[in-house]
Amino acid sequence: MGVDRALSVVALQALLMNGVRNYRADAAVAAQIERALATAASLDYVLMLATDSAGTRLPADDVRRAIRDGFARAVDDALPFLRAVAQVDDAAARSFVREGLRIVRSAIEAEALADDDRTFALIALAADVCR
C-alpha cells in the first residue's frame, strides 16, 4: 500500500492529537476533542491496513474500502476541528491550521476524496487563515 499512505495516516493522527494538546483550553476546540481523539485512534486501524500489519488476511476489496473510509472520516473530522482551532485567532493557531490544511488537502488528493463540500471547506478555511 505504500509508505506515502502510512505517512499520510500518521500526519492526520498527529494533526488531531497536537491540536487537542495545544488548543484544548479553547471552548470551540474542547467541543471537538472527543471526536478528534476517536478519529485519531481509528487511524491506527487504517495504518495497520495500509502497512499490511493487521495480523490477519483480509479480502483486498475490504482493505481498500476500510482504508478509504478511514481516510474519509479523518478528513471529514479534521475540517471542523481545524475550523475550531482557527477560531482561536492568534498567529500560532493560524499557522497550525495552514499546516493542517496542507495535510488534509494532501490526503484528499491522494485518496481521491475530493467533492464539493470538502473543497469548499478547504477554500473557506484557507481564506480565513490567510492573514
The count of residues in the chain is 131
Instruction: Give residue-wise pLDDT tens across range 74-113.
Output: 999 999 999 999 999 899 999 999 999 999 999 999 999 9
- The phi and psi torsions of 51 (rounded to 5 degrees) equal -105, 10
Could you list the residue range(s) of the whole structural domain that residue 93 is in?
3-128
Instruction: Give me the sign of the Cα torsion angle 15, 21, 23, 29.
Output: positive
Q: What distance in Å separates the CA atoms of residue 126 and residue 2, rounded to the nearest whole number?
A: 29
How many Å separate Cα 51 from the centre of its chain?
18
pTM above 0.85, yes or no: yes
Q: Where are the beta strands (DSSP E) in 41-112?
A: none
Domains held by the chain: number = 1
